[in-house]
Amino acid sequence: MSTATDYLSLNNLSGLDPATICEEDVVRKIESDWGDAFLSRDMASLDGLMADEYILTDPLGFVRNKAESLAAIETNEVSFESTESDNVNVRINGDTAVVTGRSTFRGRYKGWSVAGQYQYTDVLVKREGSWKAVGSHITALGTGPLRLRVGRFVCDWLLSHKEAHSRS
Protein backbone atom coordinates (compact mmCIF):
# COMPACT_ATOMS: atom_id res chain seq x y z
CA MET A 1 0.00 0.00 0.00
CA SER A 2 1.59 3.22 -1.07
CA THR A 3 -0.45 5.87 0.72
CA ALA A 4 -2.93 6.31 3.51
CA THR A 5 -5.50 7.33 0.88
CA ASP A 6 -5.01 3.99 -0.91
CA TYR A 7 -5.48 2.20 2.41
CA LEU A 8 -8.67 4.11 3.17
CA SER A 9 -10.06 3.43 -0.31
CA LEU A 10 -9.27 -0.28 -0.09
CA ASN A 11 -11.09 -0.51 3.24
CA ASN A 12 -14.02 1.71 2.12
CA LEU A 13 -13.07 4.31 4.74
CA SER A 14 -13.08 7.44 2.60
CA GLY A 15 -14.73 9.47 5.39
CA LEU A 16 -11.58 9.42 7.53
CA ASP A 17 -8.77 11.97 7.23
CA PRO A 18 -5.53 10.24 6.10
CA ALA A 19 -3.43 12.74 8.07
CA THR A 20 -4.90 11.70 11.39
CA ILE A 21 -5.78 8.07 10.74
CA CYS A 22 -4.84 5.39 13.24
CA GLU A 23 -5.69 1.70 13.30
CA GLU A 24 -8.17 2.18 16.16
CA ASP A 25 -10.08 4.70 14.02
CA VAL A 26 -10.17 2.27 11.10
CA VAL A 27 -11.53 -0.52 13.31
CA ARG A 28 -14.13 1.81 14.88
CA LYS A 29 -15.33 2.77 11.40
CA ILE A 30 -15.57 -0.89 10.40
CA GLU A 31 -17.57 -1.63 13.56
CA SER A 32 -19.93 1.26 12.73
CA ASP A 33 -20.31 0.06 9.14
CA TRP A 34 -20.97 -3.47 10.39
CA GLY A 35 -23.81 -2.21 12.62
CA ASP A 36 -25.26 -0.23 9.70
CA ALA A 37 -25.10 -3.34 7.50
CA PHE A 38 -27.03 -5.35 10.12
CA LEU A 39 -29.73 -2.68 10.28
CA SER A 40 -30.10 -2.40 6.52
CA ARG A 41 -29.71 -6.16 5.96
CA ASP A 42 -26.89 -5.42 3.51
CA MET A 43 -25.82 -9.00 2.92
CA ALA A 44 -22.94 -8.11 0.58
CA SER A 45 -21.40 -5.77 3.16
CA LEU A 46 -21.91 -8.26 5.98
CA ASP A 47 -20.29 -10.99 3.89
CA GLY A 48 -17.34 -8.72 3.13
CA LEU A 49 -16.84 -7.63 6.75
CA MET A 50 -16.75 -11.20 8.11
CA ALA A 51 -13.91 -13.62 7.43
CA ASP A 52 -14.93 -17.02 6.06
CA GLU A 53 -14.05 -18.65 9.41
CA TYR A 54 -16.16 -16.14 11.42
CA ILE A 55 -17.93 -17.56 14.48
CA LEU A 56 -20.52 -15.97 16.73
CA THR A 57 -21.54 -16.98 20.23
CA ASP A 58 -24.98 -15.43 20.61
CA PRO A 59 -26.67 -14.31 23.86
CA LEU A 60 -28.26 -17.75 24.27
CA GLY A 61 -24.89 -19.48 24.04
CA PHE A 62 -25.43 -20.89 20.56
CA VAL A 63 -22.41 -20.87 18.27
CA ARG A 64 -23.01 -19.96 14.63
CA ASN A 65 -20.56 -19.88 11.76
CA LYS A 66 -20.55 -17.19 9.09
CA ALA A 67 -23.03 -18.95 6.80
CA GLU A 68 -25.45 -19.58 9.68
CA SER A 69 -25.12 -15.99 10.90
CA LEU A 70 -25.83 -14.57 7.45
CA ALA A 71 -28.72 -17.00 6.87
CA ALA A 72 -30.34 -15.95 10.16
CA ILE A 73 -30.43 -12.36 8.92
CA GLU A 74 -31.38 -13.18 5.34
CA THR A 75 -34.34 -15.34 6.44
CA ASN A 76 -35.42 -12.79 9.06
CA GLU A 77 -34.83 -15.25 11.90
CA VAL A 78 -32.88 -12.36 13.41
CA SER A 79 -33.81 -8.77 12.60
CA PHE A 80 -32.67 -5.42 13.93
CA GLU A 81 -34.80 -2.29 14.17
CA SER A 82 -32.25 -0.03 15.85
CA THR A 83 -28.84 -0.28 17.44
CA GLU A 84 -26.56 2.11 19.28
CA SER A 85 -23.19 1.28 20.79
CA ASP A 86 -21.31 3.00 23.61
CA ASN A 87 -18.31 2.30 25.81
CA VAL A 88 -16.53 1.02 22.69
CA ASN A 89 -12.89 0.17 23.32
CA VAL A 90 -10.48 -0.92 20.61
CA ARG A 91 -7.19 -2.65 21.39
CA ILE A 92 -4.74 -3.38 18.60
CA ASN A 93 -2.05 -6.03 18.99
CA GLY A 94 -0.20 -6.46 15.70
CA ASP A 95 -2.67 -7.70 13.12
CA THR A 96 -5.38 -8.45 15.69
CA ALA A 97 -7.98 -6.05 17.07
CA VAL A 98 -10.18 -6.77 20.08
CA VAL A 99 -13.24 -4.57 20.38
CA THR A 100 -15.48 -4.43 23.43
CA GLY A 101 -18.59 -2.37 23.78
CA ARG A 102 -22.16 -2.15 24.94
CA SER A 103 -25.00 -2.08 22.46
CA THR A 104 -28.58 -1.06 23.02
CA PHE A 105 -30.84 -2.35 20.32
CA ARG A 106 -34.33 -3.31 19.35
CA GLY A 107 -34.86 -6.36 17.27
CA ARG A 108 -36.44 -9.78 17.02
CA TYR A 109 -35.30 -13.37 17.20
CA LYS A 110 -37.82 -15.76 15.65
CA GLY A 111 -40.43 -13.05 16.20
CA TRP A 112 -39.60 -12.63 19.89
CA SER A 113 -38.44 -9.19 21.06
CA VAL A 114 -34.76 -9.04 21.97
CA ALA A 115 -34.74 -5.35 22.83
CA GLY A 116 -32.25 -4.48 25.53
CA GLN A 117 -28.61 -3.94 26.35
CA TYR A 118 -25.86 -6.32 25.36
CA GLN A 119 -22.14 -6.45 26.05
CA TYR A 120 -20.09 -7.63 23.09
CA THR A 121 -16.57 -8.57 22.11
CA ASP A 122 -15.49 -8.65 18.47
CA VAL A 123 -12.15 -9.95 17.24
CA LEU A 124 -10.84 -8.73 13.89
CA VAL A 125 -7.69 -9.68 12.02
CA LYS A 126 -5.85 -7.70 9.39
CA ARG A 127 -5.14 -9.65 6.21
CA GLU A 128 -3.71 -8.20 3.02
CA GLY A 129 -4.36 -4.70 4.35
CA SER A 130 -8.03 -5.22 5.31
CA TRP A 131 -9.64 -5.89 8.68
CA LYS A 132 -12.08 -8.84 8.85
CA ALA A 133 -14.17 -10.03 11.80
CA VAL A 134 -13.25 -13.57 12.86
CA GLY A 135 -15.30 -13.87 16.03
CA SER A 136 -17.95 -12.25 18.21
CA HIS A 137 -19.42 -12.97 21.61
CA ILE A 138 -22.60 -11.28 22.82
CA THR A 139 -23.97 -11.32 26.37
CA ALA A 140 -27.40 -9.98 27.34
CA LEU A 141 -27.35 -7.58 30.30
CA GLY A 142 -29.98 -7.09 32.99
CA THR A 143 -33.13 -9.20 32.65
CA GLY A 144 -32.27 -9.88 29.01
CA PRO A 145 -30.83 -13.39 29.51
CA LEU A 146 -33.96 -14.70 31.23
CA ARG A 147 -36.26 -13.01 28.71
CA LEU A 148 -34.23 -14.49 25.84
CA ARG A 149 -34.32 -18.01 27.27
CA VAL A 150 -38.07 -17.85 27.93
CA GLY A 151 -38.65 -16.43 24.45
CA ARG A 152 -36.51 -19.12 22.84
CA PHE A 153 -38.35 -21.84 24.76
CA VAL A 154 -41.78 -20.47 23.79
CA CYS A 155 -40.81 -19.99 20.13
CA ASP A 156 -39.32 -23.47 19.87
CA TRP A 157 -42.32 -25.01 21.60
CA LEU A 158 -44.76 -23.19 19.32
CA LEU A 159 -42.82 -24.21 16.22
CA SER A 160 -42.62 -27.86 17.26
CA HIS A 161 -46.32 -27.82 18.19
CA LYS A 162 -47.18 -26.31 14.79
CA GLU A 163 -45.05 -28.94 12.99
CA ALA A 164 -46.70 -31.75 14.95
CA HIS A 165 -50.15 -30.49 13.92
CA SER A 166 -49.15 -30.17 10.28
CA ARG A 167 -48.04 -33.84 10.24
CA SER A 168 -51.31 -35.14 11.68
pLDDT by residue (tens digit) across 69-100?
A: 999 999 999 999 998 999 999 999 999 999 99
Judged against a pLDDT cut of 80, whether residue 130 lies above it is answered with yes
Query: How much is the pLDDT for 5?
Result: 45
User: Cα(59)–Cα(127) distance, rounded to whole angstroms?
Assistant: 28
DSSP 8-state secondary structure symbol assigned to residue 16: S
| CATH number for the domain whose boundaries are 4-167 | 3.10.450.50
Query: How much is the pLDDT for 138?
Result: 95
Neighbours of 63 (CB within 10 A): 11
Confidence of residue 13 (pLDDT cuts 50, 70, 90): low
Whether the CA torsion 12, 17, 19, 23 is positive or negative: it is negative
Residue 79 half-sphere exposure, CB side, CA atoms within 13 Å? 10
Confidence of residue 10 (pLDDT cuts 50, 70, 90): very low
- Measure the CA angle with vertex 20, ends 120 and 122; round to 5°: 15
